[in-house]
Amino acid sequence: MTAYPIAATKAELERGEVLAPRFDAAGLIAAVTTHAETGEVLMFAWMNAEALSLTVETGLAHYYSRSRKALWKKGETSGQVQLVRELRVDCDQDAVWLKVLPQGDGGACHVGFRSCFYRVVEGGRLVERPDS
């Protein structure tokens, strides 16, 4: 597994060429996953160092499940494997953005919708509108 370095300066963190993820106290960084073709935000999840390095090495999205306290290869049981087309990191390297092609039934959400963000906040209420 890749051992990630810590950026020594703000310039290295923000403009450097070295991936130096800033894991939080629990050892996690935020991961935003969008559909590589439609741009739809599919899910928001977490990665630990192992999940991030496995994602980079295999090209398949891996996350860390905080509820199960375990590495989680997306789609391992659901078939909703995610082929990673591009991986980006943000300015302060505490979040990554994955552009993926969902396999299986094309979904990403355990509730059964394509995206986890199937509800809009509207007039103070939540309205299910899966076509984002």
Please give the residue ranges that form the binding site for its own copies (CB under 8 A): 14-19, 30, 32, 34, 38-41, 43-44, 56, 86-92, 94-97, 109-111, 113, 116-121, 124-128, 132
CA triple 111-109-82, angle to 5 deg: 155
Give least dist CB 83 to its own copies, A. 15
Minimum distance from CB of 76 to its own copies (Å)?
19
Residue number with CB closer to its own copies (71 or 90): 90
How many degrees, rounded to 5, is the angle at CA 19 between CA 17 and CA 23?
Answer: 145
Name the 3-class secondary structure at 33. strand
Q: Cα–Cα distance between 132 and 35 in angstroms, integer?
A: 12
Nearer to its own copies, 76 or 86 (CB): 86
Instruction: List the structure tokens of 8.
Output: 């020594």
Q: Toward its own copies, which CB reaches closer, 70 or 91?
A: 91
